[in-house]
Each structure stands twice: as structure tokens, then as C-alpha cells.
Amino acid sequence: PEKSVIIVRKEEKVLIPCGIPYIFGTVCTPSKNLIPDAVLEKNNIELLVGNVTGIDRNNKTIETKKGDKVQYEKLIIATGSIPIVPPISGSEKENVYIVNKDVDYLQNLLDKVEDSSDMVIIGGGFIGMEFADECKKNRDINITVVEMLPCCLMIAFDEDICRQGEEILKKNGINIITNAKVEAIVGDVKVEGVKLSDGKIIKADIVLIGIGSKPNTEIAKNSGIELGEKGSI
């Protein structure tokens, strides 16, 4: 009770990460998938909104992009994860999205999904399957999931369970292509399709890349903290 605790975060509002896919169907809006700040206020925890740009371990201070400096005795780095973006040609095109944990970004993605006719989701893990299921709800949209492995969800489950999961989505009108590698995202300025390694092109006016995440530890690395072989602290 006598300790002073400060949380420094870059977001004004914080999303519930595991609930992000449900923004696109069940809950309908990012504003209904937020972690409230009331628990911080109740426990007298100070909140500073700002993007941390540096950690001075010798002087035990952190600095934000806005120039705020915070002294600490103990520092906990809890920066979470960021999406993996594979080196796919054309991934910079308009209407190609990743799963960013940002309210405005996801609202923009939601608006684009509402206006789209053909959606391709790259990745058939939990992220891809949940997004496919939610984006299909109450929408007349053609959705195709492309997965490199023989089955979707294969990293987590055995083949029988994976096939059952695929069948549920197929019954809801979702197309699933497995054993397939995306070679390029095609189109001029905006995405128009996804080209597979066998030459097949899947029509798309929106693409979501959801192949997983990696530790968000760049700030730790830059401050000289030793990272594990997979980039975690």
C-alpha cells in the first residue's frame, strides 16, 4: 500500500486481446472489447499514456516519445506481442491488414470488412479461424482461409479435431484451402487477389494476415537486455 506504481502505455484505450476477433461479429465494435481503467483508479495506480522510446538502466529512468521521463526502482516490461508479417510480395497494398491491437486500426478494418465482398485470410490457426467465423456472421461476404499445413489448427490439435473445426466453418459457407502457400498479393494500388504457389489466384478485395505473433521486445533489446533464442525476455 505504501508503494508508488505507475503504468506507462502507448494506448489511450486498451483492448482485450483474446476478444479481438469477436469485434467483427459477436460484439460488433471495438468499444465493447476494452479493459476498463477503473481497477487502476481503485488501487491508486498512476497511468501515463505515452510511447516509451528508451530505457536508461544505469540511471533507472524511462523516456517517452513526448519527452516524459519517469524514475523507477523496479521496472517490469510487459509489452506483449506483435503480429508476424511474412515477406509476401504485395503485402503493402491497400486493404491488406494484420491484427494490430489498436482501437482505431481495428475500427478501420471493421469498416472495410463491411464494404467488402471477397475476403482472404492468410493463416488457419486460432486467429484465422476465429476471424473467419466472426466476419461471416450476418454478412454476405465470401471468405477463404489459406493454410500452409495439411489442416487448419494443426499446431494445436490432432487431425480429427482439426477436420471437425474445418467442417464447422465450411457448413457456415467459409472456403478452406490447405497445403497452400501464398506467393503474392496482387492488384494495383488496392488488393485484387491472392496468388498461390501453384499459380491459382483467389479473388479478394480485402486480405487479413493472421499467421501468429512474436514477442514485442525491441525496447528491451535496445536497452541491452539479453533476449532468448525466440526473441523473448
Q: What is the pLDDT of residues 85-115, one digit of tens each?
A: 999 999 999 999 999 999 999 999 999 999 9
Of 14, 8, 10, residue with least CA distance to 34: 14
Q: Quick check: pTM over 0.75?
A: yes
d(CA 128, CA 120) in angstroms, rounded, equals 10
**Buried (b) or exposed (e) across 159-186, using 16+ Cβ within 10 A?**
eeebeebbeebeeeebebbbebebbebb
> What pLDDT is attached to residue 24?
98
CATH numbers and ranges of domains, the chain? 6-81+215-222 (3.50.50.60), 85-211 (3.50.50.60)
pLDDT tens digits, 196-223: 999 999 999 999 999 999 999 999 999 9
Q: How far is CA 126 from CA 26, 112, 189, in A?
A: 16, 22, 30
Report pLDDT for 3: 87
